[in-house]
Amino acid sequence: MPRSKIAGIGKYIPERTVTNQDLTQYMETSDEWIQERTGIKERHYAHRTDETTTTMGVEAAKIAIERAGTTAEEIDFIVFATLSPDYYFPGCGVMLQRALKMKEIGALDVRNQCSGFLYALSVADQFIKTGMYKNILVVGSEKHSFGLDFSTRGRNISVIFGDGAGAVVLQPTDEKDQGILSTHLHSDGESAEILAMYNPGTHANHWGTKDYADFDDAPIAQMFMSHAMIDNAQNFPYMDGQAVFKKAVVKFPEVIMEALQANGYQASDIHMLIPHQANLRISQFVQHKLKLSDEQVYNNIQHYGNTTAASVPIALCEAWEKGLISRGDLVCLAAFGSGFTWASALLKW
């Protein structure tokens, strides 16, 4: 059975840079406050109307396809990970297929938030291994800036997120010292509401009113976005930051060690760990826990913020472009996020 390898990789970062100081125009915060809690100095925002999750994904995909030595016409499957699609439906996968004028191939959308790219990579990996497809485009893209609460009320979340996209092309390889060794996926929905965006949705308990908690007794007007929902900020993401941090610093090391042990390696064997860029403090905790050096962990959240499904491919692409990853290096990718979901992938570059 062949392995799947990353044959090409690309990223797209919007031109507009938004510093911590810029955010002080809209909310009570400071550069020091943000950096102390997250490590973030700046992030990038897509153009309000001219750039979308799909268009950013397209730009990253073009680079990945070219570097893979193939063409858009030769791609035979798409897996697109995002929590911020252009439309509620259809998904971004078909929008990308249209934009790149691809054949009438399959397009799958993955909604696993921060773990989305690794879930998408795992799905693509299985298709390559079985021989069903030969050139799979895997994309992680996010446009968070259009849906954040830029007020003091929403600062705990809004200062964290940025926009961007990353993409890889997976192809089969028979080389023993190259390719994805294994992927590992997990979830636990017990505390799903700790990090969530409740609306738009169909969950009656989040309508923003106690008068019509039962769907059957609610008037038609209460079946849509209400003023109460807006007043209670239920149309914006919610996060219990401390609870997420406590869970992340446990599950991140666990899923990394799971990948290493499944393939007969230990932490010291890692050449480069690319963690999902959730919070620099989380990455530093994981690095300390696994006793990794600064040279073994790549972080770029300082300049891009948390780009959710796009963060792992953006960081992986940037590390490769800087020459920090070479053929044969042992690379570990890991993520933890809303759901909760967490995942890892171990590969030989």
Domain boundaries of the chain, sorted by first residue: 3-173, 179-192+238-348
Q: Is the peptide bond before 200 cis (omega within 30 degrees of 0)?
A: yes
> What pLDDT score does 202 carry?
52
CB of 67 within 8 A of CB of 38?
Answer: no
Q: What's the whole-model pTM score? A: 0.92
Measured CA distances, 175 to 2, 328, 348 (Å)? 8, 10, 10
If one counts every other C-beta atom within 10 angstroms of the C-beta of residue 117, the result is 35
Both tokens of residue 110?
């993955």
pLDDT of residue 234: 59
Q: Any catalytic annotation for residue 276?
A: yes
CA-to-CA dists, residue 107 to 12, 97, 171, 334, angstroms: 21, 8, 17, 24
In the CATH hierarchy, which fold is given to the domain comprising 179-192+238-348?
Peroxisomal Thiolase; Chain A, domain 1 (3.40.47)
Q: Catalytic site residue 332?
A: no
> 255 with 182: CB under 8 angstroms?
no
Residue 339 · residue 187 · CB < 8 Å? yes
Q: Which of 299, 306, 317, 332 is catalytic?
A: 306
Q: Do domains 3-173 and 179-192+238-348 have the same CATH topology?
A: yes
127 vs 303: CA distance, rounded Å: 34
Cis before residue 275, ω within 30 degrees of 0?
Answer: no
Low-confidence stretches of the chain (pLDDT < 50) are 204, 206-216, 218, 220-223
Angle between helices 311-321 and 116-130 (to 10 degrees): 70
Active-site pick, 112, 276, 279, 317:
276
**What local confidence, expressed as pLDDT, does residue 71 receive?**
98
β-strand pairing of 238-239 with 272-275: unpaired
Question: What secondary structure, in 3-state letters, does 163-201 show?
Answer: CEEEEEEEEEECCCCCEEEEEEEEECHHHHHHEECCCCC
Catalytic residue of the set 114, 184, 199, 317: 114
- What's the pLDDT score for residue 232? 60
Q: What is the DSSP letter of 78?
A: E
Q: Are 20 and 29 in contact (CB under 8 A)?
A: yes
Whether 114 is a known active-site residue: answer yes
CATH number (3.90.580.10, 3.40.47.10, 3.10.580.10, 3.40.50.300) of 3-173 reads 3.40.47.10
pLDDT reported for residue 4: 97
pLDDT at 229: 57
